[in-house]
Amino acid sequence: MPKPYYVTTPIYYVNDRPHIGHSYTTIAADLLARYQRLAGREAYFLTGTDEHGTKIAEAAAAAGKAPKEFCDEVVQHFKKAWSALSVEYDDFIRTTDRRHEEAVQKLLTLLNDARTDNGQTVIYPGVYEGIYCVGCEKFLTEKELVDGLCPNHKRKPEILKEKNYFFRLTAYLDRIKTLIESNELVILPDERRREVLGLLNQDLGDFSASRERVEWGIPLPFDPSQSAYVWVDALSNYITAIGYGSDETKFRKWWYDAEVVHLMAKDILKFHCIYWPAILMAAKLPLPETIFVHGFFTVDGEKMSKSLGNMIDPNDLVAQFGADATRYLLLTQYPFGADGDIQVSRLATKYNSDLANDLGNLVSRVAKMIVANFDSRVPTPVKNLEGLQELIESAEDVPDKILGHINKFEITAAIEEAMNLVRMTNRFFDTNAPWKLVKNGEKEKAGGVLYACSEVIRIAAIMLSPVMPNKSLQILSIFGLGKDHLRKENAAIFYHLEPGARVHFVESIFPRQDVSESKTEPSRKKTSESVDGLIDFADFGKLKLVVAEVLDAEKLSGSDKLLRLQIDIGEEKRQIIAGVAEYYSPEEIKGKKIVVVKNLKPAKIRGVESNGMLLAAKKDGRLCLVVPESDLPAGAIIS
């Protein structure tokens, strides 16, 4: 029996809603678990949210909410996004879960009592004085700063001096280095392995295991005046979710006896590849088998950020392409593991090329010909067809090739193996031209071509099911097959379909997309706002108008006509860019109640996101704001 397979994503910080960066890692982990199950292994897939720390407390305060209330709301956005993307996790861990907090305190107690090999305490008190980035929730060194700023958040870090408890990292560095160099601890890709070894050659010191001034966190069991440092708290989720400290049987199965794989992006490499192994060593627990660290991606050549207005909500992609196509498109933009670029404008083109043309068109052509010419029944196979033997050999090899790629985390290459088989089948179909065979009275031979194509479609659907779980089942249902057919051994056998089986075909699997205008670029599309902020809409009745209170206003840098407004629309606060600076100063408009369009897609104006639009009208050359009745509250609907 193969070892169980335990795969995790990082737990995502809940200071904001999920974007396609979160989605990329989560879909990949979901896919890995599905492929292992397809191969007959037990698999357990964990994801979740990281909810403690100063940054969360600050975000909650800015939203006027208690930290837990704020976290509860944001977590729902993550769960809804994963549901929309057909992500099926086995557990969703929250660091505010009581089970997690209790397990972390047990781990901290153990670490506080533990000793290194030379008898030193693993946890010891001290005073930390240094620079700290709230955005990263980590202490930085001067070497890591760029022009005195955090390289990730472009903000000046704080200078902190406080009592901490320290974890004696230095006691474990040599052993970690040896394990990585011998590949007992596998770090992939090799570029990331080299990066970790480079860090280990630097002068790394002990790290803070607690914070004195952080109230929103897990109190240390041996000193409640201190809270667990967010990384000690967060990294522990990988064991607290599977029974550490509460269910020894479950914990041993999924930590001691399983193949453990951590999946993440490279910005948290040091914590997972150095801090986490050291914590596990100190606790005398096994280390994970593999840590896979994928690269960053840009969006149309630019770093993804709010300020650039190019954050992409996965729900927008699902709305346009559907869950399965979104999963496919995100994982096939560039090789998994490398840095790459998501070219939003080409998503619809790739959808049409790969899914509508290659896969969808093959399914449609084959199924429609069977329905029209063979009474909706699977035809009888014929073995003396041009290119058939080559097609069969390729089809029978594909399952092992795909799983070979998956076991090496070559996700993009695995998907390409299946799609190349689909393309090969399209060529086989065109070469043998079954429509001509039917016309020429060679119906039996035409049936043989359609049978062979149907078999490859069945095999491709099975092997693509971890990528596109819903569409694969839809394809299998055409031939009367269901979820119980999704096994690798079924994909490895040609001539599985029974001649005479009923074929049901209703609609195209992947309808073509209109590439004339991409719906997935909400932050890039210009609305019909002109430079002076006027609106010209063809269908005014579809707009949702609400009362907004202007909380703050300032001129947009580099523009004499635009104001950046922070507004309250009742249930949330937003930012809009309005072309009214020639008529209203920031001081005049601040505090006013105005009318705004609530249901516009966010737009990027001068590189700044604008989430809505105010109403104004020109009279006698003067721009006048549309204002509501004075007693209407922010958020009131204008009908």
Which listed residue (68, 154, 156, 303) is catalytic?
303
Pairing of strands 138-140, 123-133: antiparallel
Is there a catalytic annotation at residue 22? yes
Question: Catalytic site residue 306?
Answer: yes
Q: Is 273 a catalytic residue?
A: no
* Active site (annotated) includes residue 133: yes
Tell me if 128 sits within 8 A of 164, measured CB to CB. Answer: yes
Q: Is 573 a catalytic residue?
A: no
**Whole-angstrom Cα distance, residue 193 to residue 207?**
21
| Interstrand relation of 297-299 and 340-342 (parallel, antiparallel or unpaired) | parallel
Q: Count Cβ atoms within 10 A of the Cβ of residue 52 and give its class: 0-12 exposed, 13-18 middle, 19 or more buried.
A: buried
Looking up tokens 């922070």, which residue turns up?
566
- Pull the structure tokens for residue 129: 């004085």
Active-site residue (options: 52, 55, 100, 136): 136
Q: What is the rounded distance in angstroms from the CA atom of residue 336 to the CA atom of residue 326?
A: 15
Q: Are 456 and 389 in contact (CB under 8 A)?
A: no
- 294 is a catalytic site residue: no
Prior bond to 125 cis, omega within 30? no
- Pick from 531, 549, 559: nearest CA to 596: 549
Question: Do residues 334 and 341 touch, judged by C-beta distance below 8 A?
Answer: yes
| Main-chain dihedrals φ then ψ at residue 6, nearest 5 degrees | -120, 115
> Looking at 19, 471, 593, 604, which residue is catalytic?
19
Active-site residue among 133, 272, 294, 445?
A: 133
Catalytic annotation on 453? Answer: no
Q: What burial class does residue 443 get, using C-beta atoms within 10 Å of its C-beta: 0-12 exposed, 13-18 middle, 19+ buried?
A: middle
Please name the residues in contact with 503: beta carbons below 8 A apart, sequence gap of 6 or more.
367, 370, 371, 374, 376, 377, 378, 454, 478, 479, 480
Out of 52, 100, 150, 405, the active site residue is: 150
Q: What is the rounded CA–CA span in Å between residue 575 and residue 357?
A: 41
Catalytic residues, which ones?
A: 19, 22, 133, 136, 150, 153, 303, 306
